[in-house]
A = this chain, B = another copy of it.
Amino acid sequence: MNQVITPSTVPTSERLAQLHRYWQATNYLGAAQLYLRYNVLLDRPLLASDIKPRLLGHWGTQPGLNLVYAHLNRLIQDTDANVLMVVGPGHGAPAILANLFLEGTLGEFDAHYKPGLVGLSNLIRQFSWPYGLPSHLVPGTPGQIQEGGELGYSLSHAFGAALDNPDLLVACIVGDGEAETGPLAAAWHSNKYLNPATSGAVLPILHVNGYKLSAPTIYGRMSNDELTNLFTGFGYQVRFVGGSDPMQVHKAMWQAMNWAHEEIQTIQQQARMGMLNGVPAWPMLILQTPKGWTCPLTVDGQPIENTFHAHQLPVADPAGKPSQLKTLETWLRSYRPQDLFDEKGLPFVDVVSICPPDDKRIGMNPHANGGALLRPLELPNIADYAVTIPSPGTVSVEGTHTLAIYLRDVFRLNDHAQNFRVVCPDETTSNRMSPMFEATQRAWMGPMIETDEFLAPDGRIMEILSEHTCEGWLEGYLLTGRHGLFGCYEAFIPLVDSMLNQYAKWLKVSKETPWRKPLASLNYLLTSHVWRQDHNGYTHQVPSFINSVVAKKSSVARVYLPPDANCLLSVMDHCLRSRDYVNLLVASKASQAQWLTIDEAQAHCRRGMSAWSWAGNEINHQPDVVLACAGDVPTNEIIAAAAILREHLPDLSVRVVNVMDLLTIMSPEDHPHGFPEAAFVQLFTPGKPVIFAFHGYPMLIHELLHHRTNPLRFHVRGYMEEGRTTTPFDMLVLNNMSRYQLVLSALDRVEKRAGSGDLRMWCQNKLTEHAAYIRRCGQDMPEVMS
């Protein structure tokens, strides 16, 4: 591992020829996928009837992807490198599928695509065909860890994959369109967080293709000086490979790959001998080739190659226009398919002689099917971290602090496996989770000074002020078979809403892909939540991520609102053991009253929701009203409301229900955690009014309850987008969820009885007192000048 392997530095003409023929074969297969339904090897002249009835697919990025794939193959052959390929450019599937087909892995994962004429025909015909091969990379694509849909995440995924995989080389192709996105732009700084002593390497290959859909790319029109400056500034060593003469580009790419590989090995060797200081200057390549390289220069007089017209279909209507059919045939024959494949559809030996040995093929990289590598975490006994509860509400703690002590020991117990990380936009300390620093540090490769705290190159807490990069790193880490947690302020996690959309889609399709093994779940811990923004105010009040997670497929989405520290421990323990879910946990970092012993908490969390008899005032198991709560602050308030009712109206029968696992309130037909209707009715009664205090937007509860018996009796309070710089209690009042307002709402729904009127007045007085207090605060100014 610590020896620098020098690959053959001189490209022989024989191997260059092999490379080129392999490249021609992948280009042919890629172009054929776009167009051909029959006559897939052009055994006879091309007819309009050979063309697919509807053309859907993209050519522009294919030749570049094929070039990189071919040269990675050569590098693997020469160096035995362990290469995971991450493909950023959109619509790259036909190129990658062509390579996977040629190296044989596609057929090994799906028998339809075995080498030979049948498999080759299937590949070409099934592309962009209903229920066939999609235009983007998908979970069903061997060797891939990234969907080809929304752009911008290749680089953060690549770094996430390389972490703690010291022998892995992640070759990451970044599209020049993709490079314009914010998440990609931020991810270049990942080099400041990756320790070459203990992690693998990322080789970024920026593919400057020149055009997006129909406009030039920014990176395509920057000068080489600008590009060099920019990426040198980001901390990389830049090498350009470019041109339009394939053999020249092959030679340059060969040498560039060798250079990059040697630089990486040198950096790793130095780091592993303890001789590296600071952020190493990792190599990166900038590949500048024409958009749609090797397609027709013009079609019907219109320039195509090296223009944006080559982005999608260079020849737009070959079935309809005879001149275009001829152009297409000339183009396809330019790759000389008869010289590449024999009559059985098998590639000639020299065409695939550049492919690596079986288990080293890119499509076979084990890290791409991370679930198969996944080792369960060793988890401590949560009872050892439990808060002691003499009786409900008598102890106050910061729940995230308690959790952090447990997580500290998760780091310790799994130190030998190096397979657990926490990502966070620099909020670990603010979130009261500093105890984790007793076990590990913040990852940091940059310069350090004496007054810094908790920084180290091998730190396992990754803090960058970019939620996108945090999410991308974690996704890459999970997809390659490890475990992690994203700790974030609740208000700003919607920054990754769209990344969650795409990841949840990946998970759903992965589960439907037989060879994909379950991954560790994607766990979010949201703190500094909407109800406790004492000085941040209105901009920091955004509980919408719950809605985002709930909108995901029910086979994937899980939402937990632990009401206290012991429940938080219990549910985190569960989440770290779970697989293939998106687990959302919301818990305040503020000190709050505690309710359940660890045993009670475990029973409650296992059940998902339960009645808390000690909080209610239930008479003969016949409640007149149910007070329900989901979320730590709402729980506190509902318990206070119940206490008021107990004291003032002792003959009102009140049941308190705490909902920890939010989706238990859904019908079981809508979510697997949904309580059976009978159990739901047992808890909430068949028809009594329910006053429901919820952490987030109240409308969401109505949505979740839709299929339940008599949902209109649920009266939900929650965050109504009312807030400002004010006291935590005033936040509740502003949003109609204070204990007094909850009591009033309960009184509105139950039969009037002796004492109701007095209690109503008492509550209104309390609210009037509060209003006066707030008015005094607002008037705590010497004088208003007119």
| Whole-angstrom CA separation of A429 from B430 in the bound complex | 46
Complex Cα distance, B214 from A133, in Å, reads: 48
In the assembly, what is the distance between CA of A547 and CA of B537, in Å? 24
* Interface pick from A365-373, A412-420, A698-706: A698-706
Decide if A274 is an interface residue (CB 8 Å cutoff): no
Please tell me if the beta carbons of A780 and B426 are within 8 angstroms of each other in the complex. Answer: no
Q: Is A508 an interface residue (CB 8 A)?
A: yes
| Distance (whole angstroms) from the CB of A750 to the closest CB of chain B | 21
Question: Do A447 and B221 touch (CB < 8 A)?
Answer: yes
Least Cβ–Cβ distance between A510 and chain B, in angstroms: 12
CB pair A538–B551 under 8 Å, yes or no, is no
Across-interface contacts of A730 in B (CB, < 8 A):
130
B786 and A111 form a contact (CB under 8 A): yes
Specify which chain B residues have a CB less than 8 angstroms from the CB of A700 in the assembled complex: 703
How many Å from the CB of A204 to the closest CB on chain B?
A: 15
| Stretch of A3-11, A60-68, A334-342, A462-470 that contacts chain B | A462-470
What's the nearest-Cβ distance from chain B to residue A673, in Å?
16
Whether A134 contacts B785 by the Cβ 8 Å rule is no
Contact of A151 with B by CB under 8 A? yes
Q: Which of A184-192, A647-655, A737-745 contacts B (4 or more CB under 8 A)?
A: A184-192
Contact of A551 among B117, B152, B544 (CB under 8 A): B544
Interface centre among A128, A303, A702 (most CB of B within 10 A): A702
A15-41 Cβ-contact flags toward B at 8 Å (1 or 0): 000000000000000000000000000
- In the complex, are the beta carbons of B180 and A726 less than 8 A apart? no
Cβ of A446 within 8 Å of any chain B Cβ, yes or no, is yes
The reply to whether A453 and B308 form a contact with Cβ atoms under 8 Å apart is yes
Q: In the complex, are the beta carbons of B180 and A182 less than 8 A apart? A: no
Please determine whether B725 and A539 come into contact, CB atoms closer than 8 angstroms.
no
Q: Interface centre among A122, A178, A186, A467, by most B CB within 10 Å?
A: A186
Once the chains bind, are A217 and B447 in contact (CB under 8 Å)?
Answer: no
Whether A538 touches B553, Cβ cut-off 8 Å, given contacts A186-B181, A781-B126, is no
State whether B230 touches A121 (Cβ < 8 A): no
A675 to B446, CA, bound (A): 60
| Residue A769 interfacial (CB < 8 Å) | no
Q: Which of A254-262, A496-504, A612-620 contacts B (4 or more CB under 8 A)?
A: A496-504
CB neighbours of A468 from chain B (8 A): 181-182
With contact pairs A447-B221, A547-B547 given, residues A536 and B725 touching in the complex (Cβ less than 8 Å): no
| Residues in B neighbouring A782, C-beta threshold 8 A | 117-118, 121-122
Query: When A542-B501, A782-B122 are in contact, do A218 and B192 touch as well, CB less than 8 Å?
Result: yes
Cβ–Cβ contact A539 & B149, under 8 A:
yes
Cβ-defined contact, A180 with B130, below 8 A: no
Q: Report the Cα distance A497→B307, complex, angstroms.
A: 33
Q: Is the CB of A491 within 8 A of B149?
A: yes
Chain B residues lying within 8 Å of A192, measured Cβ to Cβ, are 218, 221
- Residue A243 is within 8 A (CB to CB) of chain B in the complex: no
- Among A126, A463, A509, A535, the one with the most B-chain Cβ atoms within 10 Å of its Cβ is A535
A431 to B229, CA, bound (A): 36
Taken residue by residue from 75 to 116, chain A's Cβ proximity to chain B (1 for < 8 Å, 0 otherwise) reads as 000000000000000000000000000000000000110101
**Given the interface contacts A111-B785, A501-B494, A777-B131, does A539 sit within 8 Å of B148 by beta carbon?**
yes
Q: A727 vs B508: C-alpha distance in the bound complex, in angstroms?
A: 20
Interface members, chain A 173-215 (any B CB < 8 Å): 177-178, 180-189, 192, 212-215
Do residues B498 and A181 form an inter-chain contact, with CB atoms below 8 A?
no
Q: How far is the CB of A118 from chain B (nearest CB, A)?
A: 5
Is A640 an interface residue, CB under 8 A from the partner?
A: no
- Which of A138, A234, A697, A725 counts the most chain B CB atoms within 10 A? A725
With a cutoff of 8 Å between Cβ atoms, the chain B residues found around residue A448 in the complex are 216
Whole-angstrom distance from the CB of A557 to the nearest CB of chain B?
10
Q: Closest Cβ of chain B: how far from A194's Cβ, in Å?
A: 13
Q: Contacts of A177 on B, CB cut-off 8 Å? A: 426, 465
Contact B213 A134 (CB under 8 A): no
Contact A303:B451 (CB < 8 A) given known A182-B183, A544-B548: yes
* Alpha-carbon distance A283/B189, docked complex (angstroms): 23
Q: What B residues does A712 contact at CB under 8 A? A: 706, 711
- With A130-B774, A703-B702 already in contact, the answer to whether A226 and B215 are too (CB < 8 A) is no
Interface hub of A118, A134, A428 (most chain B Cβ within 10 A):
A134
Q: What's the nearest-Cβ distance from chain B to residue A78, in Å?
A: 33
Q: Is A167 close to B, CB under 8 A?
A: no
Report whether A502 and B539 are in contact in the complex, using a CB–CB cutoff of 8 Å: yes
Chain B residue contacts of A498, Cβ below 8 A:
492, 494-495, 497, 542
The residues in A between 519 and 555 inclusive whose CB is less than 8 angstroms from any CB of B are 534-540, 542, 544, 547-548, 551-553
Which 5 A/B pairs are nearest by Cβ-Cβ distance? Answer: A149-B539, A230-B233, A182-B182, A56-B535, A229-B233
18 new A-B contacts at CB < 8 Å, known A111-B785, A229-B230, A231-B233: A56-B534, A111-B784, A122-B781, A128-B535, A147-B539, A149-B491, A150-B539, A151-B465, A180-B469, A182-B186, A182-B466, A182-B469, A218-B446, A221-B446, A229-B233, A308-B453, A495-B498, A497-B497
12 contacts between A and B (CB under 8 A): A114-B785, A122-B782, A129-B725, A131-B778, A138-B538, A138-B539, A215-B426, A226-B235, A230-B230, A230-B234, A231-B233, A233-B233
Partner-B contacts on A (CB < 8 A): 54, 56-57, 111-112, 114, 116-119, 121-122, 125-126, 128-136, 138, 147-152, 177-178, 180-189, 192, 212-218, 221-222, 226-235, 303, 306-309, 426-430, 442, 444, 446-448, 451-455, 463-469, 491-492, 494-495, 497-498, 501-502, 505, 508-509, 534-540, 542, 544, 547-548, 551-553, 697, 699-700, 702-703, 706, 711-712, 721, 724-727, 730, 774, 777-778, 780-786
